[in-house]
Structure formats: C-alpha cells, structure tokens
Structure 1
Amino acid sequence: MDDLEKAETVLQALKTAEQQPPQAALPILNGLAGLVQGDPDAPLEVQEVRADVFMAICELGKALHRGQPAEALWAPALTAAKRWRGLLG
C-alpha cells in the first residue's frame, strides 16, 4: 500500500470511527497507528502532516479510552488526514 492509499484509508477509518460509540471507535483508531508511519525519506511537509495525524489519533484514542469527551477532537484529526491526503494526491 502506498502513502496515498494509507492516507485515504486513515481518512475513511476516521470518518467511520466518528460515527461509532467510543468502545467501537477505539479499536478502529488503534489499528491506524501502523498506517500513519511512513517513509522517513518523504518530504518534510509530508512527514510533518503525518505526525499531526498521528498525534490527533493518539489524542482521540486517549480521550476515548479514559471516557473523556472527544467530540472536539474529531475535526482536527479529520482535517490533518485530509491535508495528508491532499499533499500526496
């Protein structure tokens, strides 16, 4: 799977997870960590936005795991994933 496919998969998974209850969304988010890792030789702006996606997913997962409100965390995660996909495609 190339980086564009990974970015698209992450974006779609985030959209799906957002519609799920926390206990169903958490495993989806946990499955994305490996997809967000990428080529260390990628351009710096791609590495930075990929790091933004990773951090946003981590923040979401942490909030869901702790039973904290996560509504405000979905938009930044989706925005970062869209930026990542946009840089690649």
Structure 2
Amino acid sequence: MTESEKAQQIVAALRAAEVSPPEAALQTLNGLMSLVRSPSVEQPLEVEEARSAAFMSICEVGKALHRGQPTEALWPTALAASERWLALAK
C-alpha cells in the first residue's frame, strides 16, 4: 500500500469515526495505528513530519475517547493533520 493510499484510508476513517459513538470511534482509531506508524520505505522529510503529526493527533483523540473526555476540539486537528499528510504523499 502506498503512502498516499494509507493517508486516504486514514482520512476516510477519521471522518466516519468522528460521527460514531465513542466506543466505536475508539475501535476505529485503534485499527488505524498500523497504517499511520512509520513507513517501511523512507519518505521525504515533509511527508514524515506530516505522518507523525497525524499519528500524534490521532493518539490524542484516542486518549480522550478512552478517558471519556471531550473530543470536539481534537477531531478537526486530527483530520487537518491527516489531510496534510495526504496532500504531501500524493
């Protein structure tokens, strides 16, 4: 799977998870971790940084969901970071 395909899957899953119940959203996010972790093929620095930002922001949403904390302000950040990764990966 290419970097672009991974980023596309992440963006689509985040959009779906954002409107899901918290437990379902958390399961979705947990399932994304293998896609957003470091790639096996070295990428340009900008792509690596964008992927890393997406990973960290998705982790923040996951932590908040796990703890039962509000996530309204976290979803847009995770989606924006993932969309930036997608734009750079193309």
Question: Shorter-chain-normalised TM-score: which range?
Answer: over 0.9
Structure 1: gaps of 5 or more residues: none
Aligned to 2:52: 51
CA RMSD of aligned residues (A): 0.9
Structure 2: gaps of 5 or more residues: none
Q: Contact between 1:14 and 1:78, CA under 8 Å: does it hold in 2?
A: yes
Deviations 1:33-76 (A, max 9, x none): 11012145211111111000000010000000000000000000
Alignment of 1:29-44 (within 5 A): 29-37=29-37, 38-39=39-40, 41-44=42-45
Aligned to 1:76: 77
TM superposition score normalised by structure 2: 0.95
Describe the SS at the equivalent of 2:69.
coil
* Amino acid corresponding to residue 27 of structure 2 in structure 1: P
* C-alpha distance in structure 2 between counterparts of 1:54 and 1:33, whole Å: 8
Shift of 1:22: 0.4
Identity %: 55
Q: Which runs of 4+ in 1 moved over 4 A?
A: none
Aligned to 1:65: 66
